[in-house]
Structure 1
Amino acid sequence: MDKVLLCVYGAVNLAVFIMYGIDKGKAKGGRWRISERTLVLSAVLGIVGGLMGMVVFHHKTRKPKFSVGLPIIFFAEAAAFVYLKFFL
């Protein structure tokens, strides 16, 4: 079961990473964009992919909603994981 969850988590993070890349490409081309709300909500499910997308594509790095918000989400999810794994 742990392997399945890890694979699903990896696939979700890959999808979020790709979303950030697509949005960056659209931004460069001046085309229709993925909404910031969608990007943030997707990062809640795939925070590693969101953070990697920000770094690799240099996307949304100047917006506090992303540059501050995503690391906060990361640490909150990490703390929740540690709590659930070791204290319950």
Structure 2
Amino acid sequence: MIKNVLVWYFILINIWGIQIMRHDKRSAQQGKRRISERNLWLLAFVGGALGMTIGMKHYRHKTKHFTFKYGLPMLLIIDVVIFYLLLGRVS
């Protein structure tokens, strides 16, 4: 049960990460209100780094920002390790 919740959390938070990057890219193109970098990092920190990395590459958004270009993949590694450790404890 808890294992399923963790897996679904990881899937949904990363789908959300992709969508957030898409939304922020479109907002930037249209000159609309943007999502703060603080909130982008918060989403990545709580497990959405994979989705945000995919979104960053797919939508070519934030790719010139050093902190996003290198920080998201590093946080992705940390997210995956934490996810793996949590799944191991729940089994």
Q: How far did residue 3 of structure 1 move?
A: 2.1
**In the alignment, what sits opposite 1:18?**
19
Q: How far did residue 25 of structure 1 move?
A: 0.2
Higher relative contact order (CA 8 A, sep 6+): 2
**In the alignment, what sits opposite 2:77?**
75
**In the alignment, what sits opposite 1:37?**
38
User: Structure 1 segments of 4 or more deviating over 6 A?
Assistant: none
Q: How many residues align?
A: 86
Measured in 1, the distance between the counterparts of 2:11 and 2:54 equals 13
Question: Secondary structure at the residue paired with 2:58?
Answer: helix
Specify whether residues 79 and 7 from structure 1 end up closer, same or farther in structure 2 by C-alpha distance, changes over 3 A only: closer
Deviation larger for 63-72 or 76-85: 76-85
- Unaligned 5+ segments in structure 2 are none
Q: How far did residue 83 of structure 1 move?
A: 5.1
Q: Deviations over 1:42-81 (max 9, x none)?
A: 1122111111110111100010110011111112223344
Letter in 2 for 1:62: K
Measured in 2, the distance between the counterparts of 1:11 and 1:77 equals 14
Task: Output the TM-score relative to the length of structure 1.
Answer: 0.84
Task: Output the TM-score relative to the length of structure 2.
Answer: 0.82
Q: Identity, % of aligned pairs?
A: 34
Letter in 2 for 1:49: G
CA RMSD of superposed structures (Å): 1.7
Measured in 2, the distance between the counterparts of 1:33 and 1:15 equals 16
